[in-house]
């Protein structure tokens, strides 16, 4: 079985969808659905069984798994960059990940896990996925630090030699609707344009960037999971790799692509950034993709305009999900 933790979530359900596209259905989905509508992400996908994340953890710790594990694609985590409960983040993002890594080491199974570009902090150390420089990174929030701690732990234990860590940059695309405030700006802006005809973006509080000219590496979820599955298909390649486009684009570029995809005139209002974000805001991110390309990943990556157009016209405007 291929285990996908966080398999009902945004990137997780897209991963299950991508596996199905390749004809793979021997999949175990691990997640926590609660009372929201995240279950819709699973509607139409093909997998063998579903386990609540805590039930699965208990089986792992007790050595009582009822199936053989070929691989664990560990995407389950609290991904809220504004989460302040450090103990909660440690349990979900650090301790849980340790158990998944130890399981794969014991079973000689493939271990692919989600790290994050949030580990790079303000970017003053660059965005080079060189593991020898991990200790130099200083994340800006507890979410990024929890991911950074696991990257360090895996390296310190030597388990990184049979694992792949994926530093996801700004991922957007179908199946993210349930993420509330952690949804991409594409999803939030789509609702704003649909309801009001305009988009609100944060003003810049950095002298080097004009309003709306803050830059991020926006990567379409279909490309992100394509990179993840490349490592499933190439089990001899290990290490930490950036998952991005290697292009930094502005928020203005992003919403302009959205307006164009919706056939609406561009109408942007700039608003003050909340005080609690000002010291923790990344003004620039750009993945260095040399390492993943040298590893053999050759697939074409959607441009920002291509990804936004596909997302808006084939999913948001039709109110459908991957797998439907």
Q: CA 29, 40, 182, 33 torsion: positive or negative?
A: negative
Of 179, 188, 264, 280, which one is the catalytic site residue?
Answer: 179
User: pLDDT tens for residues 227-244?
Assistant: 999 999 999 999 999 999
- The model's pLDDT over 13-49, given as tens digits with 9 standing for 90+, comes to 999 999 999 999 999 999 999 888 899 999 999 999 9
Residue among 110, 108, 109, 111 nearest 98 (CA): 111
Q: How far apart are CA 171 and CA 152, in angstroms?
A: 23
Measure Cα distances from 196 to 179, 260, 261, 314 in Å. 22, 16, 16, 21
3-state secondary structure of 129: coil
Question: Which residues neighbour 2 within 8 Å (Cβ) at sequence distance 6 or greater?
Answer: 19, 24, 26, 27, 28, 70, 71, 72, 73, 232
Full-model pTM = 0.94
Confidence bin at 6 (pLDDT 50/70/90): very high
Looking at the predicted structure, is the pLDDT value of residue 184 above 80?
Answer: yes
**Both tokens of residue 174?**
């179908």
51 flagged as catalytic:
no
Of 51, 96, 120, 143, catalytic: 143
Which has the closest alpha carbon to 168: 126, 110, 227, 101?
A: 227
Alpha helices in the chain (DSSP H): 10-21, 53-62, 86-89, 96-107, 142-157, 185-196, 221-233, 251-262, 275-278, 290-294, 304-311
Tokens 């299950």 found at? 16
What CATH topology corresponds to 2-173+218-246+284-302?
Rossmann fold (3.40.50)
What pLDDT is stored for residue 112 in this prediction?
Answer: 98
Give the per-residue pLDDT at 52. 97
**Residue 239 region, left (φ>0) first, then alpha (ψ -120 to 50), else beta?**
left
Contacts 24+ apart (CB under 8 A), 131-135: 131/155, 131/160, 131/239, 131/240, 134/240
Domain ranges of the chain: 2-173+218-246+284-302
Please provide the average confidence, as pLDDT, over all residues in the chain: 95
- Residue reference for tokens 């990179």: 227
Is pLDDT of 78 > 90? no
Strand duo 170-172 + 268-271: pairing: unpaired
Residue 281 a catalytic site member:
no
């Amino acid at each position: 079985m291929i285990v996908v933790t966080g398999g009902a979530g945004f990137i997780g359900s897209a991963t299950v969808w991508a596996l199905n596209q390749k004809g793979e259905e021997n999949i175990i989905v691990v997640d926590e659905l609660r009372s929201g509508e995240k279950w819709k992400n699973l509607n139409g996908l093909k997998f063998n069984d579903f386990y609540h994340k805590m039930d699965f953890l208990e089986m792992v710790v007790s050595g009582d798994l009822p199936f053989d594990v070929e691989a664990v694609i560990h995407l389950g985590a609290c991904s809220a960059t504004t989460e302040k409960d450090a103990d909660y983040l440690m349990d979900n993002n650090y301790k849980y990940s340790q158990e998944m890594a130890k399981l794969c080491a014991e079973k000689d199974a493939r271990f692919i896990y989600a790290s994050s570009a949030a580990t790079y902090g303000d970017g003053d150390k660059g965005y080079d996925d060189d593991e020898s420089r991990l200790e130099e990174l200083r994340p800006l929030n507890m979410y990024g630090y929890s991911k950074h701690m696991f990257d360090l732990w895996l390296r310190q234990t030597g388990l990184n030699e049979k694992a792949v860590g994926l530093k996801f940059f700004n991922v957007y695309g179908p199946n993210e609707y349930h993420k509330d405030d952690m949804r991409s700006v594409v999803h939030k802006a789509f609702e704003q344009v649909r309801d009001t005809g305009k988009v609100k973006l944060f003003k810049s509080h950095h002298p080097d960037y004009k309003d709306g000219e803050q830059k991020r590496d926006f990567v379409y979820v279909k490309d992100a999971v394509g990179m993840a599955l490349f490592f499933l298909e190439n089990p001899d390649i290990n290490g930490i790799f950036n998952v991005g486009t290697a292009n930094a684009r502005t928020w203005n570029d992003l919403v302009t692509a959205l307006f164009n995809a919706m056939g609406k005139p561009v109408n942007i209002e700039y608003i003050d950034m909340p005080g609690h974000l000002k010291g923790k805001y990344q003004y620039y991110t750009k993945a260095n993709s040399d390492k993943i390309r040298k590893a053999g990943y050759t697939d074409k990556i959607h441009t920002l305009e291509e990804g936004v157009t596909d997302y808006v016209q084939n999913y948001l405007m039709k109110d459908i999900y991957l797998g439907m």
